[in-house]
Amino acid sequence: MLPTIEWRKDKVIMIDQRKLPKKEVYVECTDYNQVAEAVEKMIIRGAPAIGIAAAYGVALGLLRIENEENLNDEFDRIYRRLERTRPTARNLFWALEKMKNTFEKNKGLSLTKLKQRMIQKAVDIEREDLETNKKIGIWGKDLLKDGQSVLTHCNAGSLGTAGYGTALGIIRAAVQEGKKIQVYADETRPYLQGARLTCWELDRENIPVTLIIDNTAGFLMQKGMISVVITGADRIARNGDTANKIGTYTIAVLAKEHNLPFYVAAPSNTIDFNLPEGKEIPIEERDPREVREIGGRCLTLPHVKVQNPAFDITPARYISAIITEKGILRPPYEKSLKGLGR
Ligand code: MRU
């Protein structure tokens, strides 16, 4: 299994996802600001993985505190810094809230004990995410039949989580059961999570993967070459509307046109019970250079205006099912998602 992120000897270690697949380089963070920057720069990315990073960031921030004076203010500063890193993934805020609860419950303890509790909580969040993904895989694998082709977008794999992955976890579970599954990976412009990360992960495990540019999906569907679509999610509103990597909506519409199932795989902590519908999900706008340039080389006029939303919203009506660790949820999602809060 791929090590995405871990707590080791009072440091946070993460694989530098910007460098994959060419280099396997690990980044060491010794303070919470470095963790925050790693999330912003997408050294680590993927909704569950940035949640885990934020939890470790809080633990690291507290670990560096030397006396109890202004403990609440210090905690607040750390929390606010990590909260500002990326706006869309619900998992990041969920993990920060969990860390805050642990802080509130234990801040009366000695500083040493408090630090231990905070580290333990972050480690638990990581461990539970791995278990959650395996459960998603178990629920989801029966949706795939031997010989099918699965289209996926972005990277909802080991690298976007504590390990195993959500969408790719389902594929892994089906393959482990002996099913022959062929994966089509959208390259996922501009950050190329599909080309660089999904292909790398699947290839390491000898799961057959074919890389396509983002515009190819419709053509392959028309030719009957795709059986199912599975993607991850960054935030799911109460009605099932789902934010995921830009381009997901386009594929969902295409899937409906071709009568193909479109599945979303995500842990239940991706669901934002405060938001009734998807239009309220904040969508991150990223640096125009990500679009203007590839590998530091300008592709267009250096001053051309760019729009670079990192995510889009797929309305619930396009989603055949949402696969969580608690089961397979079907429309109407207002009903099926209810009660999943934790
Ligand atoms: O910008 P990213 O790479 O963080 O976006 C990631 C995605 O959109 C993933 O599909 C999602 O977070 C699920 S990761 C299991």
From the candidates 234, 241, 272, 312, which is the catalytic residue? 234
Q: Could you tell which of 234, 236, 268, 322 is best to mutate to test the pocket of ligand 1, judged by most ligand atoms within 8 Å of the CB?
A: 234
Phi and psi torsions of 181, nearest 5°: -125, 135
Encode burial over 62-75: b for 16+ CB neighbours within 10 A, e otherwise: bbebeeeeeeeebb
Q: Of 105, 134, 163, which residue is a domain's last?
A: 134
Query: Which residue ranges have their beta carbon within 6 Å of ligand 1?
Result: 45-48, 89, 154, 156, 160-161, 166, 193, 231-234, 244-245, 310
Q: What is the predicted pLDDT for the residue at 76?
A: 97
Q: Which residue has its alpha carbon closest to ligand 1 atom 8?
A: 245
Q: Starting from the edge strand earliest in sequence, which strands make up the sheet with 262-265, in order?
A: 209-212, 182-186, 149-152, 228-231, 262-265, 321-324, 327-329
Q: Could you tell which of 52, 244, 291, 312 is best to mutate to test the pocket of ligand 1, judged by most ligand atoms within 8 Å of the CB?
A: 244
Query: Of 274, 310, 267, 326, whose CA–CA distance to 126 is shortest?
Result: 267
Q: At what angle do helices 111-140 and 47-63 cross, to 10 degrees?
A: 170
Q: What is the predicted pLDDT for the residue at 295?
A: 83
Q: What is the predicted pLDDT for the residue at 170?
A: 98
Query: Of 154, 165, 136, 164, whose CA–CA distance to 197 is shortest?
Result: 154
Per-residue pLDDT tens listing for the chain (342 residues) = 457 999 999 999 999 999 999 999 999 999 999 999 999 999 999 999 999 999 999 999 999 999 888 999 999 999 999 999 999 999 999 999 999 999 999 999 999 999 999 999 999 999 999 999 999 999 999 999 999 999 999 999 999 999 999 999 999 999 999 999 999 999 999 999 999 999 999 999 999 999 999 999 999 999 999 999 999 999 999 999 999 999 999 999 999 999 999 999 999 999 999 999 999 999 999 999 999 998 889 999 999 999 999 999 999 999 999 999 999 999 999 999 997 865
Q: Which residue has its alpha carbon closest to ligand 1 atom 5?
A: 46
Same domain, 166 and 82: no
Half-sphere exposure of 153 (CA within 13 A, CB side): 32
Same domain, 109 and 146: no
Residue 133 near residue 169, CB atoms below 8 Å: yes
Query: Of 58, 7, 45, 47, whose CA–CA distance to 28 is shortest?
Result: 7
Checking DSSP bridges between strand 182-186 and strand 149-152, what pairing results, if any? parallel
Per the annotation, the verdict on 312 as an active-site residue is no
d(C-alpha 47, C-alpha 52), whole Å: 9
Q: What is the predicted pLDDT for the residue at 2?
A: 52
Atom of ligand 1 nearest to the CA of 165: 15
The verdict on whether omega for the bond into residue 21 sits within 30 degrees of 0, i.e. cis, is yes
Find the 88 Cα to ligand 1 centroid distance in Å: 10
Same domain, 168 and 287: yes
Q: Could you tell which of 4, 17, 45 is best to mutate to test the pocket of ligand 1, judged by most ligand atoms within 8 Å of the CB?
A: 45
Q: Helices in the chain by DSSP H: which ranges? A: 32-40, 47-63, 71-83, 90-106, 111-140, 167-176, 199-204, 217-222, 248-257, 289-292, 333-336
d(C-alpha 20, C-alpha 34), whole Å: 20
What's the number of domains the chain is made of?
2
Which residues on neighbouring strands pair with residue 185, listed in sequence order?
152, 211
Same domain, 88 and 143: no
Same domain, 244 and 280: yes
Give the domain CATH number at 214: 3.40.50.10470
Residue 125: give the domain boundaries. Answer: 5-134
Same domain, 116 and 15: yes
The Cα-based distances of 214 to 50, 184, 228 in angstroms read: 24, 11, 16
Give the domain CATH number at 49: 1.20.120.420
DSSP label at residue 301:
-
Find the 156 Cα to ligand 1 centroid distance in Å: 6
* CA angle (170, 322, 334) in 5-degree steps: 165
